[in-house]
Chains A and B, each alone.
Chain A
Amino acid sequence: NAGVTQTPKFRVLKTGQSMTLLCAQDMNHEYMYWYRQDPGMGLRLIHYSVGEGTTAKGEVPDGYNVSRLKKQNFLLGLESAAPSQTSVYFCASGQLSGTGELFFGEGSRLTVL
């Protein structure tokens, strides 16, 4: 009964390094999202996907890339990390039919020095 799993949960990077955050869901959801959360800024949408093989930009996509090669996985990449990307990242998945509920992962705390 895993739900939405994010890895890693914590990471410290140096400026210019790259990394990938992995989001995996086991609920067969079509829709997946990556948000970042910063104090006072709420949840800001980075990228989202409405199905396997599709991705779309959110409100703050610059500096990030995503891929959805498999329906259950949504990867968020940082090619060249910057201190401004220090944040807590949340992945979410859901369906638009039914309750429309999004299920969130526990979050990944990223610090860029």
Chain B
Amino acid sequence: QQPVQSPQAVILREGEDAVINCSSSKALYSVHWYRQKHGEAPVFLMILLKGGEQKGHDKISASFNEKKQQSSLYLTASQLSYSGTYFCGTRLAGGTSYGKLTFGQGTILTVHP
């Protein structure tokens, strides 16, 4: 079961903020965020483990609400380099699918000057 991301696409001007959401219908153990530039492989941004933690580096941060089975990725003061497709990946809680990591359909982020 792929997690569901929203919105499907976002268009920003440099300096604007954006939020990308990721939700699951099942209990989650961890949420993983990746960014993919056109024609390239996805690149790891961060992982959030159950426990409701929030993480960030530079101007990109994320939160994980374990009870709601949701995660959000926050991009503040966006830069041109933030353009790309963002994917959330989820691992389910419980031991039946240990190691299984499924990704959402992606959110296309475009930052204009």
Contacts and interface: CB of A to CB of B under 8 A. Distances in A.
A42 B44 contact: no
Interface stretch (B58-66, B69-77, B97-105): B97-105
Contact of B44 (A33, A41, A102, A106): A102
Interface in A29-79: 31, 33, 35, 40-45, 48, 50, 56, 58-59
Interface of B: 1-2, 5, 30, 32, 34, 40-44, 47, 87, 89, 97-106
Contact of B2 (A31, A44, A103, A107): A44
Nearest to A4: B41
A107 B104 CA distance: 18
Nearest to A104: B41
A59 B103 CA distance: 10
A80 to B, nearest CB: 26
Given A42-B87, A100-B30, A102-B32, A48 B101 contact: yes
A56 B41 contact: no
A35 B36 CA distance: 14
B29 to A, nearest CB: 10
Given A31-B99, A35-B103, A40-B105, A101 B47 contact: yes
Nearest to B99: A50
